[in-house]
Chain A
Amino acid sequence: MNLQLAVGATALLALVAYALSGGADLGGGIWDLLASGPRKREQRALVEQAIGPIWEANHVWLILVVTVLFTGFPPAFAAISTTLFVPLTVLLVGIVLRGAAFTFRAYDEGGVAVERRWGLIFSMSSVLAPLMLGAIVGALSSGRLRLGPAGEPLGGSMAWLSWFSAATGLLATALFAFLAAVYLTVEARGELLEDFRRRAIAAGVATFLAAATAAGLSWRESPLVFEGLTARAWSLPLHAVTGMAAVGAFWALVTRRFVLARFLAAAQATLIVLGWGASQYPYLLVPDVTLASAAAPPRTLALLLGALGLGALTLIPSLWLLFRVFKRRARVADPHG
């Protein structure tokens, strides 16, 4: 078995898991910011209740991506940290403010005004973080990030910023908002459910537009992704399946099959991330850093895989328990599920 590929695939899967869980938590924050209408308060309360017990566990997926990257592909981690210094730092500020403000809002006994202030910080940083995350992922494949002979970032510290990375930033934001709204339709009741159903459909349209824009821009700005999107043997089937998931999710939302919609939305997000990973293969940082050029020695990779396997053995039952405790009630209540 190819060890490098296995570790790289594990990192990609952890990223998928983060998008599906932590990404949706960020999406919840976006709906907090966009809460509107007569049920504004209820919308916010539902978001808070939905992510309160689980967001810290979901967040660990991102840390796992980082540790797998720096153990398995250390020079890639160094190159990414150097060339993407600015968006990573902004992402960190977003992550810190999001988590802290969310918790302060829940626990600060300082009254309504204080609560509103924390809510604003929480929701604004929930927009900032996915914008940066998406831009970072887009920039990785843009081919604009290169290191000089002394390991310095060529093209300055803003080389990551382009129309393409802006579009991928928006794509991630829309996708997370879509995921969150779809998940929330499963947890909401009555009028509140209608609110999130409408929001899910709107966010689905936004996701589609952002994806189309990013795909179009990739023709000019990220040839590798464009090739992955169009020219490889697996491109067409992958698109077909992703598109089917997306259309299916819409259909399920329209026909009120919310549990199915949740499944299809998650499948769509998974396929988007996997599709990005596949079109970027074998590069970690286009065009200079590949899985092979950055891989740690085989012994490290093998041990890392072993550790990840052992970890998964403890993690999966624990996660199952967590979601069973906090998400079970919701599942029973869906008439179409």
Chain B
Amino acid sequence: MTHLLAARWLFGMSLAFHIVFAAIGVAMPLLMVIAELRWRRTGEPAALELSRRWAKGVAVLFAVGAVSGTVISFELGLLWPRFMAFAGPIIGMPFSLEGFAFFAEAIFLGIFLYGRDRVSPRLHLASGILVAVAGAASAFFVTLANAWMNHPAGFQLLAGQAGEIDPVAAMFPAGWGEQVLHVLISSYAATAFAVAGIHAFHLRRTPGDPFHRTALATVLPVAMAAALLQPISGDLSARRIAVTQPVKLAALEGHFKTQRRAPLRVGGFPDVATGTTPGAIELPAGLSLLAFHDPDAEVRGLEDFPRERWPDPLKVHLAFEVMVALGSGLAALSLTAGVLWWRRRSLPTQPALLRALTWAAPAGFLALEAGWLVTEWGRQPFVVWGVLRTADAVTPVGGLEVPLVTFAVLYVFLALVTATVLRRMIRQTSAAGRSARGWSP
């Protein structure tokens, strides 16, 4: 394994691990607040129970998110010191602001989780709301940094050095809004579908269970709304990169030849050697329509760009197809659930729907990981698009295989343990639920 590849694996692995907990940290506080509000409005004991039980899970997930995030903030320097030396003065600001969002999140989560019996109900609820806002704010700030890497702004390049640095302009590069929106919605979608899947699974085994019914009724609307908005937001993102990063768009569509009425390719395997994407189903003029909302628009293909600026179209296209397929599937499932809900005027619990929701539990997170792979692979060979090559940013420190293996073991271990701890919690929950049903009317 080459030095550069080891660094990329280590960093990609750390982020792929962290992003799961980060997305949960963004979305779970919102779900807990909704449960809490529901309890205050309806007085259902199950809603209070839900908020408490979710809180226990969140305490574990949040801790893993915090330590894995710490790893990343150090790894930025450990693995990419030249990137940080270059980018620090330009985009350090959002990271510093993110630090305050973390403070707010950790402080009010502490109060929300441990302080239920120590503070007034109003302060308790306010803490929950603040955690939800701070979680969204940290995602906002860190995505600004990523948006800048995709579309660097706020400085002039003078002989390889950044001059005339304007950190405020750098915080809001073209496309920041689209990307922030997409990332935020994806956090809610991924988390809500995972939670919905767990409760749908238990509802199938214990039909009518009030706890799981309440849980599903709380989380499903969030999941549905996010999944229906996600393709719209994804379309905004795609149209934005058609302008700012056309070579990335070409790679993620497996589009080699510049042409008008460019077709949309579904599936297929881009082949750099032949400059074609065999195996794809081509929808005529689909790409021109999607990217520019005009069937006759010209879409630039990979061959328009120097070969050494291409990302690997095979990896980027496949990751993109996975994200879009999963996203479309979740949107379709949400529509179905919505229709069923509307026709019944109450929470739909048909076995087939519950089964589909169970199967869909991991789909949001898979889409989220795939989406990040699209963004990160699609930016290659640059770490700061068009400005700094990844190969020029990597640390000169050798022997990266050692931390790579160490952290790989650590992440696998943490993932297994977290899953075990959560499973034990959930099992206890359902046991408690069953005994509660024994004596409740």
Contact = CB atoms under 8 A, between A and B. Distances in A.
A67 B110 contact: no
B70 A62 contact: yes
A308 B96 contact: yes
Given A63-B102, A318-B103, A322-B107, A157 B114 contact: no
Contact of B66 (A99, A104, A107, A300): A99
Interface in B44-100: 56, 59-60, 62-64, 66-71, 73-78, 81-82, 84-90, 92-93, 95-100
Given A52-B114, A96-B410, A107-B425, A157 B399 contact: yes
Contacts of B77: 66, 70, 77-78, 80-82
Interface string B369-397: 00000000000000000000000000111
B78 A304 contact: no
B406 interface: yes
Interface in A121-178: 150-153, 157
Give chain B's interface residue range (CB within 8 Å of chain A): 35 or more
Interface in A90-141: 91-93, 95-100, 102-104, 106-110
Given A81-B395, A153-B396, A100 B92 contact: no
Nearest to B79: A81
A103 B60 contact: yes
A148 to B, nearest CB: 8
Interface stretch (B163-171, B266-274, B294-302, B349-357): B163-171
B399 A70 contact: no
A57 B99 CA distance: 10
B313 to A, nearest CB: 33
Interface residues of A, number: 67
Nearest to A297: B165
B107 A318 contact: yes
B110 A107 contact: no
A300 B78 contact: no
A322 B87 CA distance: 34
A183 to B, nearest CB: 17
B85 A307 contact: no
Most-contacted residue by chain B among A56, A63, A66 (CB, 10 A): A56
A151 B396 contact: yes
25 contacts: A56-B110, A57-B110, A59-B106, A67-B95, A68-B96, A70-B84, A71-B88, A71-B95, A71-B96, A72-B89, A75-B85, A81-B84, A99-B63, A99-B67, A100-B64, A104-B421, A110-B424, A296-B92, A299-B165, A299-B166, A315-B104, A319-B107, A321-B107, A321-B111, A322-B107
